[in-house]
């Protein structure tokens, strides 16, 4: 066999292997980019799905938040409406009482005292002592018999201390009396006249211990309208506690 024939045989024998390797490499080179694109599309699709779910979740949360806030706003509006109604009712009641009080003040000259009493206090004190409560109880027993009544409460002090301080102290003493009558005998607040006179109306000289003790007082007067039917069991009286030092 000559050299040409031998070379031809070797070439013929190796040709299928060369062609096969070339074909597989070509396929790999052509398919690989397609697979990568498909994977990228899958990743993109998965990301879009997650984004859509996230947007949907946030939208639901937003809707629930808006609904919750709307419900809370409705409740607040309802509460505000109820408060406004209550305020209006209170205003109407206050207006009615003010009208009644105006009429009472206009006819104050028609009132006469039924029971008068004075309660005394310790130096620079405004709390009620047992004897003071007893005096108020004597007045309180007449309240069921009094018709169309008012209660006049005047707070007083001795002359010790600044005038402004004594005005405040006398008002506190009068408030203590009112609180006791309102709490124990349910006296309506609009039936009470109160004033803190300080040291302006002494009943005794402030130059002595005894006189100053008498001036540390609250004068209380239960008064009824003389134009109305007078109570049968109540009579004018004056009750004073022993002087306190």
Per-residue pLDDT of 97-136, as tens digits, reads 545 555 555 556 678 888 899 999 999 999 999 999 999 9
Looking at the fold, whether 38 and 144 belong to one and the same domain comes out as no
Do 25 and 118 have their domain in common? no
What mean pLDDT comes out for the span 135-164?
Answer: 90
Examine the domain organization and report whether 83 and 120 are in the same domain: no
In angstroms, the CA 69 to CA 72 distance is 5
* Alpha-carbon distances, residue 184 vs 23, 108, 142, 177, 180 (angstroms): 113, 26, 13, 11, 6
* Full domain range(s) for residue 211: 110-240
Burial of 241 (0-12, 13-18, 19+ CB in 10 A): middle
Strand partners, 223: 113, 150
Q: Residue 233: its pLDDT value, please?
A: 41
202, part of any domain: yes
Task: Verify that 158 and 37 share a domain, yes or no.
Answer: no
Examine the fold and report which residue of 79, 106, 133 is the final residue of a domain before the chain moves on: 106
Q: Are 198 and 171 in contact (CB under 8 A)?
A: no
Q: Which of 62, 78, 106 is the last residue of a domain?
A: 106
- 136 lies in the same domain as 63: no
pLDDT band at 37 (very low <50, low <70, confident <90, very high): low
**pLDDT of 20 over the 60 cut:** no
Lowest pLDDT segment from 72-81, 131-140, 155-164? 72-81
Flag whether 245 is in a domain: no
**How many structural domains are present in the chain?**
2
**Domain-embedded: residue 169:** yes
How far is residue 97's CA from residue 105's CA, in Å, rounded to a whole number?
12
Token pair of 13, please? 């024998």
Cα atoms in the 13 Å half-sphere on the side-chain side of 53: 6
pLDDT at 118: 93
Q: Is residue 199 part of a domain?
A: yes
In a domain, 181, yes or no: yes
Same domain membership, residue 117 and residue 100: no
Same domain, 120 and 100: no
70 and 161 belong to one structural domain: no
Claim to verify: residue 93 and residue 148 sit in the same structural domain: no
Domain of 145, CATH number, reads 3.30.1330.60
């Amino acid at each position: 066999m000559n050299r040409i024939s031998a070379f031809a045989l070797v070439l013929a024998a190796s040709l299928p292997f060369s062609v096969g390797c070339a074909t597989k490499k070509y396929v790999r080179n052509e398919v690989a980019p397609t697979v990568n694109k498909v994977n990228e599309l899958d990743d993109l699709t998965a990301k879009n799905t997650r984004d859509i779910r996230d947007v949907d979740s946030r939208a639901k949360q937003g809707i629930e938040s808006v609904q919750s806030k709307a419900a809370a706003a409705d409740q607040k509006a309802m509460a505000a409406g109820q408060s406004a109604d209550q305020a209006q009712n209170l205003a109407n009641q206050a207006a009615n009482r003010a009208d009644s009080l105006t009429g009472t003040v206009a006819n104050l000259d028609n009132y006469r005292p039924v029971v008068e009493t004075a309660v005394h206090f310790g130096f620079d004190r405004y709390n009620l002592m047992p004897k003071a409560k007893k005096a108020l109880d004597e007045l309180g027993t007449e309240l069921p018999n009094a018709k169309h009544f008012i209660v006049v409460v005047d707070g007083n002090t001795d002359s010790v201390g600044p005038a402004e301080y004594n005005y405040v102290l006398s008002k506190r003493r009068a408030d203590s009396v009112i609180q006791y009558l309102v709490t124990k005998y349910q006296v309506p607040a609009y039936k009470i006249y109160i004033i803190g006179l300080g040291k302006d109306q002494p009943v005794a000289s402030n130059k002595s211990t005894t006189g100053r003790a008498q001036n540390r007082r609250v004068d209380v007067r239960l008064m009824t309208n003389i134009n109305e039917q007078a109570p049968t069991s109540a009579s004018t009286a004056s009750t004073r506690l022993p002087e306190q030092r």
